[in-house]
Structure 1
Amino acid sequence: MSIFDDIARSAPNPGGRDALIAHVDAALWDAVGEEYLGMAGTPGELLTVTFPAEDGSGAFIRTMFDLGTEDRVVAVWGLSRPEPASTRDKVRMAGFLGGVWSATYPGDDRGHFFAHTMGGGTDINLFPQLASVNRGGQWREMERYAAEHPGTLCCVRPVYGAPGWRPTELDYAVFKLPPDAPFAVWTNRFPN
């Protein structure tokens, strides 16, 4: 069982969409921070930044960082919103560590914790991700589901097995919400 399964099991029953979102959002704040601090082995200085959608949809993305130990992302979660792939800032993406990326991270894409097509941005949302995971399989299925069902609550939690900002694994959770689907959580752990 993962922390995501525990969060889903503790959800209000019956719970309306707004109550379920509030429950998962609050529970993620505590659970991902606690699990990260246990994983990292040293107390970090956690900071969470919230990016509300500018389109009035109520969507948001929260990014939790460890500023004290490694200056790296602890988790990213929020409500998806539609964003056409054609709006991706390709120049900014290519410029992100452009002078050193290929030599430092061979075989890695500039992956998004929260996909662009789900409303995710660049810069702090980018990380070195295995191209084979980023470009296909269940990772893409999960992103596609959230993009096709705006308002889906998703969380990506990097797992660090070594110092630095490149995760060794990634936990992905998609919380399916009414009215699109009965409340359920879809999870997977991906190598990185």
Structure 2
Amino acid sequence: MKHIKLLAFLFIATLTFTACSDDETLPEEEHEEEVITNMDIVLTPQSGSVVYLSSEDLDGEGGVDPTITGGTFAANTTYTGVITLTNKAEDPHHDITEEIEEHADEHQFFYSASAGLSSTFAYAGANDSNGNPVGLSFTVTTGDAGTGTYTVTLRHEPNKTAAGVKDGDITNAGGSTDIEIVFPITIQ
């Protein structure tokens, strides 16, 4: 009988200790990675024609290659760009741009031009809560005529205080790439 009482006490004690847990020891909820199927960029010059760049990859990485539409820019012109990101694999479509705005401290866009293009990029629009750029809005100033590519990269959790990152240099940014698109570009 003593053994039964002792076993019952140990069983109840075990249940009590395992049922109580310290919330601080639970793993932190991870932010689910965004699924981005579409990147659309509208570039508006001070005067002249608007340029639209787009990428669509409904099946994600691998499988069918994305459909990428580049653009033709006027030489020696400044354009204001606005990026929209969407997950069109969901029905209804999910606006990822809103998530980027909500988690601005965790995201930053980077822009670069290939060797054949004379172009400079600058951040515009809203910054994150620490005053660092996000890059959903930007400007690009074209130089002389040429052909090449523009690469647009969204980094998740970059080190925004690393050297050059605030100015758009991806070299020391770290983090992980949420999406990177290479657009064919002509400047004429």
TM-score range, shorter chain: under 0.3
TM-score (normalizing by structure 2) = 0.26
TM-score (normalizing by structure 1) = 0.26
Query: Hey, which of these two has a bigger chunk of helix by percent?
Result: 1
Query: Hey, which of these two has a bigger chunk of strand by percent?
Result: 2
